[in-house]
Amino acid sequence: MRLEFGEIKIKDIQFSEISKIENGVLFINKKDIENLVMEDEKIKSLKLEIAKPGDSTRITPVKDVIEPRVKVSGNGGIFPGILSKVDTVGEGRTHALKNMGVVTCGKIVGFQEGIIDMSGVGAEYTPFSKLNNLCLVIEPIEGLKQYDYEYSARMAGLKTAEFIGKLGKEITPDEIITYETKPIFEQAKEYPNLPKVGYVYMLQTQGLLHDTYVYGVDGKKIIPTFLYPTEIMDGAIISGNCVSACDKNTTYHHLNNPIIKSLYAKHGKEINFMGVIITNENVFLADKMRSSDMTAKLCEYFGFDGVVISQEGFGNPDTDLIMNCKKVELKNIKTVIVTDEYAGRDGSSQSLADADKLADAVVSGGNANELILLPPMDKIIGMVSYTDKIAGGFDGSLREDGSILAEIQVITGATNELGFNKLTAKSF
């Protein structure tokens, strides 16, 4: 598949009478978004806010971040199986609004939601502090079950991102980048002297608000399968989970997966990037064994020489990670795993819940248990009343002056296991 990717750089967001993009500025008519979102009877109210890099602003509790995109040519539309028909995407031309995000937040759904600070020390830990953010503060109707609320909030964000993305359909991009992966046997022949490298993309699918969707299908229901990398860039995978904020993959992360981009950057030079195998993270042992067996079998079938494996979450998914690593290695395929650590606040505890001697090449996204003091902010988008309850917080985290003492796992994207962050760890 060959995808032309047009990047439209957004320099600023402003509220206006007309929704449009002009000279790099996104103008938004609030009514356009409100009318779209408030079609859902489960949403009581919506408040739109803008947060810009450097603002003394705290956004919380954050549920998802989405980058607006639009299909200009080729099959399907953005977020297939959710907002568009279930057509295979990943080819043709897509425009993306860069340097901005749609952020959904509001009353807490599950305790594993996060914080984005737009300035101060906390801003250094999240990539979303560098974006111009349109924030949707969503208030559910009384008595709404948390699963229904999560769905409504998720759809509100996706529909808003789709609406904004369409504003860029006729805009001339600032840059066009082309990505291409050919059918597996053609791809193997193209660079016969380079190592054939694949990517095993583990998706959070444990249920109880730990969900990810592939072409609209709950990831718990899939078996490991092959995707072209460009399908993922085109919105085939979206987040629907409330795992710890520090290492959850938001929809923005899926759309901008840095492992995929890094492998493409080395494609044809150091490696032959063959494609992506997606697999799930299961709860029961039998399901873990089935998925890891099939993942290893696919890696062998496609003739990979090396594989990068990334996970999402921690604890129970560590078992899936190590199973995948071990079984792929036993096929004589070299692996590198990408994870993060929960090693205690002093860093001396066991980093992962599972381990194996074959997992000898590890990239760490940092220690999520490290304590951080977030300074008070002048403006709160959402509400801070849940600070003590979210993962990484504790009784007394929120102080009287508005500062927050908590583990960095409260910060959205702080230890992201795709490497979309600044933290790591080194062994000496």
Domain spans of the chain, in order of start: 2-410
Q: Does 428 have pLDDT greater than 70?
A: no
Report how far apart, in Å, the C-alpha atoms of 373 and of each of 55, 181, 370 are.
18, 45, 10
Question: Which residue do the tokens 């999240």 mark?
Answer: 126
Q: Please, are residues 337 and 359 in contact by the beta-carbon 8 Å criterion? A: yes
Highest mean pLDDT among 203-207, 248-252, 314-318: 248-252
H helices within 141-250, ranges in order? 146-166, 184-190, 229-233
Give me the DSSP letters along 330-391.
TTT-EEEEEEEE---TTS-S-SSS---TT---EEEEEETT-EEEEPP-SEEEE-STTTTTSB
> Hey, how many other C-beta atoms are within 10 angstroms of the C-beta on 67?
24
Q: How confident is the model at residue 248 (pLDDT cuts 50, 70, 90)?
A: very high
**Mean pLDDT, to the nearest integer, of 193-206?**
96
Confidence at 425, pLDDT banded by 50, 70, 90: confident
Specify the 3-state DSSP secondary structure of 199.
strand
Task: Place 427 in a pLDDT band, splitting at 50, 70 and 90.
Answer: low
348: pLDDT strictly greater than 90: no
Instruction: State the pTM of this model.
Output: 0.96
Give the chain's mean pLDDT. 95
Cα–Cα nearest to 412, from 131, 11, 45:
131
Cα–Cα distance, 256 to 266 (Å, whole number): 17
Q: Is the pLDDT of residue 205 over 80?
A: yes
Listed residue (299, 349, 295) closest to 321, CA to CA: 295
- Kindly state the average pLDDT of the residues 159-172: 97
Would you say residue 27 has pLDDT above 60?
Answer: yes
DSSP string, 97-160: EETEEEEEEES-SSS--EEEESSSGGGGG-GGGGSEEEEEEEEEPTT--HHHHHHHHHHHHHHH
The catalytic residues are 242
Q: Are 119 and 55 in contact (CB under 8 A)?
A: yes
